Structure 1
Amino acid sequence: MSALSGSELSSRLAELLNVPPISIELLPGDGSEWLAVASPDHAPFLFTDRNLGVPQKAAYKAYLEAVSRFRSVRPRLLHPGSPRGQPVSDRDIAEAAASSSVLLLVNPAHQSALNTRKRLVELGSLDAAHELAFTGALLTLREGAKQSILWQHRRWLLRRIHPPIRPPQAPSPSQGDGVDSLYGVALDAGTFRAEFATVEQACEVYPRNYHAWAHRFLCAQALIFLLQACDDSGDTPPGVLLEVLKEENARARFWMERHVSDYSAMQYYFQLESFLPQDSPLRLRMLSTSAEDSVQRHAMELVRAYPTHESLWLYLRSSVSSAPRTDARGTPMSANHGEVSALTEQFLSSSADRDRIARRHAVWFVAWMAWKDKTIHADSSIIRRIVSMAEESSPLMAAELVACLSTEAR
């Protein structure tokens, strides 16, 4: 690496990023450990099957050079014709694209670099689909996957590529002014699948990734809107989009079962299920509604299998809150409630040390249920009592717990 100047490293790295790669990884050190297997055409970088490995020292050396190049060309790009009346040249455009790509490799949250690339897209000098692929590569970096500004840039590109099917002045009621929403954007099935896969990969790179799950939520909202728009017009919903939603529903469940501490995933899955009312005709064609496969049943199974994870108890709370209390005739539906009670009794009645954490979660769950049913009124004294009972190791019944809290309340 020492034989190459910063300018040479920056140019060579920009060429590789322009492919663009499928994935990028920053390698520790100067890359000497990999030079023996690296292609001479790309050294000191590794580039195999469009997977790019960049030694950190080479990346930082190229970055310093890219900063200088970027600063010199950016004013001419953003303000063509000033201050000396010189129009932006093809060389300036190429330099801006190359230098900004190197900046974003090292600092994926570089606002000026992203704005410059937006400008290149608007000028028609950078293909939006190409930029979307480049952004996808940056999101495989740990530092890139967690950057909200990079996910926002991706949504901006999606809105550029795909036409809207609703007036931009009529945003989703749940999305504020709709500026950063995908609501009403006519994404196709392939794009939905690509976005869901991108989010999943980013969440593997950076666990419990809030910004990635927020992007996934906006994509799911766009998918539901497209299906509802077809349903409301009386048309048969596109079969391929229905399949995408069913796949996403199953994929989200599978993810939760493999990442039982990822509460962002559970919130997302719950929102995905709750996008449509229980009595929606479209829901019957898209999501499972059987009692054996309900959200509450799924939450109970996960709590039973992994009772020490608080995120799963919170998931169970959400499922209980959303479950209908009566059927179409107004008859109380107590079967599921009874199963939930039996589940909590199982952990409350255990005094084994290995069950202590699960018992603590069960105490809080029963207290929450009692508060939800207005059996108790939470205040500071009740909270202290719940904390005390959660730390005790002696077995008890849910009824005893609620009675104790109710007495305390009086």
Structure 2
Amino acid sequence: MSATPEVADPHGLMTRQFQVDPYPTYERLRNEAPAYFSEGWGGWLLTRYQDVQSGFKDPRLSSDRASAFGAMLPAVLKERLAPVVQSLSSWALLIDPPSHTRIRSLVNKAFTPRLVEYLRPRIQEQVELLLDQAEAAGKMDMVHDVANLLPVAVIGDMLGIPREDGLKLRPWANAFATFFGVTKYTPEVLDLLRTGIVELEDYFRGLIAQRRKSSTLGSDLLSTMMAAEDQGRFLSEQEVLATCSLVLFAGHETTTHLLTNGLYLLLKNPEQREAMLSSEEQLATSVEEILRYESPIQRLSRVITEDFELHGQPLRKGQKVFLMIGGANRDPRQFPNADQLDLRRQENRHIAFGFGIHYCLGAALGRLEGQIALRTVLRRFPKMKLLQEPERLANVAFRGFQSLPVALG
């Protein structure tokens, strides 16, 4: 007989309520079961800050989830999902050294502070354009009218994608977000991911072919990756394609949810808005607190490579571990008054962008987009108000909204 829902999911991790408000569950797990095995999720949840931060550096926890995913596929699906495994196996986020070190070191040459600063005026220009369109309409949905569109435009500029192709990227990014945010891989989810990867790689393959045919490379990220070399080691075409996919997915999802979470928090806490706008330094501090308080990425997974014990629990080789960033960033052991939004918080070593060798490559760009977009929205529309309480995403990996309708005032 199958287990009852109460036995299989005593902490409600499979419920809609957890997606809407996971923080009471995180608190219970931190206090009562800091290393907790969820049957529904098929892995261990670590929710304390120290455990999650240490987990990012622990050599017994592998990032090679693509191989683990490929190994668990039934024989009838291996051939069909081969493009998925092939692509994910070259994502820097999902591999270990030495391959991770080689790919990351080469991509680092393209992902420079100079590139981020080059994009600053383009980000401001794009934000103003999107807000002009919203103002003309007299209303705005922050998700659909700004937060979904800005990262696509910025990533498109960064990769050297024609502006008119930007909207093509959104459905492909959604396919990745759906895959990483479910607790069970249904045929529909897997088909969506396969279609997204095949179409996205075909698109970038075409761009690469065009540039090779013209024998001219620009200064954008795609051109730089194509030309990247480090002591005679090149990025293969598959690694370039996979890195384009990763940049699109990670840069889009994180920034989209940072913008919507940030605006929601500022509209719900109007007394803190002036603090945020008081100076450039305070603006940066405020965005860090938003990242901590409502982390866009709530979890990242690892695969155990050798048996060990944690908090008296036996973690076994081959099992999955979920590093619960959302739980860690609300841990009162690390952050005083952790459940309180404080835009003036100074000691704020959050791990919203991860930690260690897999720290998010695009963290500086995401921060810049958040600072520019939120400041511009608040200054242009100081009387903006929520039209209704928005609905949270049905996703356990990403924290954001399905829509965020506002009155511009």
TM above 0.5, yes or no, is no
Pick the TM interval, shorter chain.
under 0.3
More strand by share: 2
TM-score with structure 1 length normalisation? 0.22
More helix by share: 1
- Which of 1 and 2 has higher RCO (CA within 8 Å, sep 6+)? 2
